[in-house]
Amino acid sequence: MSCKKAYITTPIYYVNDIAHIGHAYTTIIADTLARYSRMSGLETFFLTGTDEHGQKIEHSALERGKTPQEYADEISATFKNLWDDFGISYDKFIRTTDEEHKIGVQKAFLKMKERGDIYKDVYKGHYCISCETFFPKSQLVDDEFCPECGRATSLVEEESYFFRLSNYQDKLLDWYNERPDCILPKSKRNEVIRFVEGGLDDLSITRTSFDWGVKLPPELNDPKHVMYVWLDALMNYVTGLGYGTDEKLMDFWPARVHLIGKDILRFHAIYWPAFLMSLDLPMPKHIAAHGWWTRDGAKMSKSKGNVVNPKEVADAYGLDNFRYFMLREVPFGGDGDFSQKALIDRINSDLGNDLGNLLNRLIGMSGKYFEGRVECSAVGDYYQEELDEVNASLEKLEPLLFDMQLHRYLEELWRPLSIANKAIDMYQPWTLMKEGREKEAMALNGLIATILAKVSIMLDPVMPQTAPKIAAALGFEISYESWTRLIKENAPLGAFVIEKIPPLFPRIEEALLAHSEPESKEAQAPKEEKKAPKASQKEESKKEEGVSLIGIDQFFQTSLKVGTVVKAEEVPKSKKLLLLQVDIGEETPRQVVAGIKEWYSAESLVDTQVCVVANLKPAKLMGMKSEGMLLAAKDADGLSLIRPESPKANGTPIG
Ligand code: MSP
């Protein structure tokens, strides 16, 4: 195993709010990267935690009649519990109130001071408590309001220590230029460069007007100052590795990537590297800034009551599905809109149709023709072209991941699935079997299994609960070894008996969920029915939407009859349609065009019984008249025709 290291971080979250999908997004991306790093043999350290000092948090605590420490303990635990609940694979959860962190920050302060980068002066300026940021008057809106959040700033004049940020302007610009991928996406790097080229003022890094923060190093004997929260907070990235206390994890430094939201890019791409330069520590490899999540087009805010609670979404739709959605839906760096419809579409289409169905098709085919056996040894003899195409797609993945193009990663990962689905449609195992080409049919199954195995490995970091289930059905475990064998060396999968597992992505019917948008607790309170649907709520939801109950007479307005398929053929050029003649006890058989080719071959239907809706208005499908409809049930597992349990005379009414 390689002994290279990967250090991955999230921002540390303020403890003045409960977690929402914006926080979950950053954490899920970081978790995905950490999981991939581990799987690919890198020694990985993944840090997350909470940012607990500052005036804003002191205020929030006082408002609730708590001490800042009590309040921080409470909210910090809600973040930690949520990440534990989500199975986030962090190696350390840091709190800025941890003793080791405080000592580390003090040591760093002293070192920067000894180096001549810190001096004492008087600060006059406008401070926004909410953003914990000073702004020059020129940046204020109407000379008073914060340019970031719009809240009123307060004019502050106090003694302060300053960090000589202005000394680092050229060094920072050199770094951005030498390392074009230091800030991702690259467009954000240009923004930062423009800002720094505009000139940097020295940074006030201590405050005297409140108390809730890390004290200055005792050596300075200046107890009225506490440190500026951003100095305190940014330092977590090294104190989390023991900087200033027990430094044995410091060989994980520099970070492979600091994941952040675009709103805190300036702190990470300007202040943090300057602090690191002052401390003689190497620069992080990447600072990656993602975009902002909105809700149905609007900015999420507590006051609007439209904050999306990640736990409720995960409970309603499945944690892995939620993870997949967040990473797939939005190009990294762009803003994204959270809508239930978009989430359901992704689950039903990408996960259910493309992935889940493929596994079901493989289970079905290997069960039907080979008693569940799958052999992969002859795949290359018949399907080398498909394999090459699949491998070419998979090779693109790793660079995409560390270039933060997570949506592209998933898009590219879906290409092999589409190759597999097309191969089944094109080579038709049922035809191969009928023609006695068993070896080819087995190789085709082997191809599908190989593709599913490879995809499950590369999907594991994104969907760590689901991918191992696919692998287990295919008789292997996801690990560094299987990743090396199947992804890096492209070794064959081997032979195994497939395990029949229940559908992984049962179809979600949007209509039933129309009134079930997951909401935060606050948002739910004043509204009527807003919870995710539990079985008992479904009836309720149906009524609400006007899916009204019908009387028995209305039911009998539909004429349902038993019939026998007397002739069946494929519709030329159609992937979905079969043309059937069905005897329903009338003079001539009914012609029915049915979209069932994906699940039934024409031959297999002849002489079987079906249930027909006999009084539908005739319709034309691909130019052919269709005079009825077959009853069928479809889920993520595939489609099944509904048939009488024992043979019935053609034309027998159903009801
Ligand atoms: N405490 C600071 C970070 C210090 S790191 C040294 C902070 N905390 S935060 O809780 O306000 O935000 C943490 C992260 O959540 C940020 O990366 C921010 O971009 C992200 N998000 C908060 N709301 C968001 C959305 N609506 N959408 C996407 N991410 C957003 O900033």
The secondary structure of 417-479 as a DSSP string is HHHHHHHHHHH-HHHHHHTT-HHHHHHHHHHHHHHHHHHHHHHTTT-TTTHHHHHHHTT---S
Q: Which residue's CA is minimally distant from atom 12 of ligand 1?
A: 13
Is 84 in the same domain as 19?
yes
Of the listed ranges 169-173, 192-196, 576-580, the least confidently predicted one is 576-580
Question: Residues 447-454: what's their mean pLDDT?
Answer: 98
CATH code, domain with 575? 2.40.50.140
| Average pLDDT for 426-430 | 95
Other Cβ atoms closer than 10 A to 295 = 20
Same domain, 353 and 430: yes
Q: Which two tokens stand for residue 189?
A: 């790097």
Q: Tell me: pLDDT of 49 over 80.
A: yes
Which of residues 261, 290, 319 is at a domain's end? 290
Are 63 and 191 part of one and the same domain? yes
Instruction: Name the residue of 8, 48, 260, 272 whose CB sits within 8 Å of the most ligand 1 atoms, as the mutation to test its pocket.
Output: 260
Q: Is residue 542 part of a domain?
A: no
Residue 327 falls within a domain, yes or no? Answer: no
Into how many domains does the chain fold?
A: 3
Quick: pLDDT tens for 88-129: 999 999 999 999 999 999 999 999 999 999 999 998 888 888
Q: Which of 25, 264, 292 to mutate to test the pocket of ligand 1 (most atoms within 8 A of CB)?
A: 264
Let me know if residue 423 belongs to a domain. Answer: yes
For residues 48 and 61, the answer to whether their CB atoms sit within 8 Å is no
* pLDDT, position 184: 96
- Which is nearest to 482 in space by CA: 39, 35, 44? 39
Q: How far apart are CA 291 and CA 329, in angstroms?
A: 12
Give ligand 1 pocket residues (Cβ under 6 A).
Answer: 11-14, 22-23, 25-26, 51, 233-234, 236, 260-261, 263-264, 292-293, 300
In a domain, 299, yes or no: no
Residue 124 Cα to ligand 1 middle (Å) = 28
C-alpha 650/C-alpha 132 separation (Å) is: 78
**pLDDT surpassing 70 at residue 523:** no
| Same domain? 52 vs 144 | yes
- pLDDT at residue 148 above 80? yes
Spatial CB neighbours of 306, under 8 Å, sequence gap ≥ 6: 295, 296, 298, 300, 523
Query: How many angstroms is it from 19 CA to the middle of ligand 1?
Result: 10
Helix 169-178 and helix 186-197, axial crossing angle in degrees, nearest 10: 160
In whole angstroms, what is the distance from residue 440 CA to residue 423 CA? 12
269 and 369 housed in the same domain: no
Q: What is the 3-state secondary structure (H, E, C) of 576-587?
A: CCEEEEEECCCC
The sign one gets for the Cα dihedral 156, 161, 167, 171 is negative
Contact 156, 125 (CB under 8 A): yes
- Print burial letters for 354-365: b (CB count within 10 Å at least 16), e (below 16): bbbbbbbbbbbb
37 within a domain of the structure (yes/no): yes
Q: Can you give the pLDDT at residue 179?
A: 96
Domain boundary at 433, 463, 497, which?
497
**Higher pLDDT among residues 302 and 4, named by residue:** 4
Residues 467 and 587 grouped into a single domain: no
- Among protein residues, the one whose CA lies closest to atom 24 of ligand 1: 22
Q: Which pLDDT does position 543 carry in this prediction?
A: 33
**Ligand 1 center from residue 263 Cα (angstroms):** 7
Q: Average pLDDT of 602-608?
A: 90
The whole-number pLDDT of residue 520 equals 38
Alpha carbon of 13 to ligand 1 centroid (Å): 6
Flag whether 329 is in a domain: no
**CA 349 to mean position of chain CA atoms:** 16
Q: Are residues 633 and 491 in the same domain?
A: no
CATH code assigned at 155: 3.40.50.620
Half-sphere exposure of 646 (CA within 13 A, CB side): 0
Tell me what the mean pLDDT of segment 319-344 comes to.
95
pLDDT at 512: 40
Residue 162 sits in the same domain as residue 92: yes
- Whether residue 370 is contained in a domain is answered as yes
Question: Are 232 and 355 contained in the same domain?
Answer: no
**Chain centre distance of CA 415:** 18
pLDDT tens for 198-226 read: 999 999 999 998 899 999 999 999 999 99
Same domain, 487 and 603: no
| Ligand 1 pocket test, candidate residues 53, 55, 133, 263, most atoms within 8 A of CB | 263
| pLDDT average, residue stretch 324-328 | 98
pLDDT tens-digit profile of 537-563? 333 333 333 334 555 555 666 788 999
pLDDT tens by residue, 263-300: 999 999 999 999 999 999 999 999 999 999 988 778 77
Instruction: Give yes or no: residues 22 and 159 share one domain.
Output: yes
Q: Does residue 377 lie within any of the structural domains? A: yes
* Tokens of residue 316, six digits: 């309603």
Ligand 1 centroid to Cα of residue 22, in Å, is: 7
Domain span at residue 45 reads 5-290
Which CATH number is 474's domain given?
1.10.730.10
Mean of pLDDT values over 484-502: 96
Q: Measured in angstroms, how far is the CA atom of residue 498 from the centroid of ligand 1?
A: 44
Mean pLDDT, rounded, for 225-236:
97
* 531/576: higher pLDDT: 576
Q: Is the pLDDT of residue 655 over 80?
A: no
Domain end residue (candidates: 481, 497, 513): 497
pLDDT in tens, 407-417: 999 999 999 99
* CB distance 367 to 433 below 8 Å: no
Mean pLDDT for the chain? 90
Q: Average pLDDT, stretch 430-446?
A: 97
Are residues 408 and 282 part of one domain? no
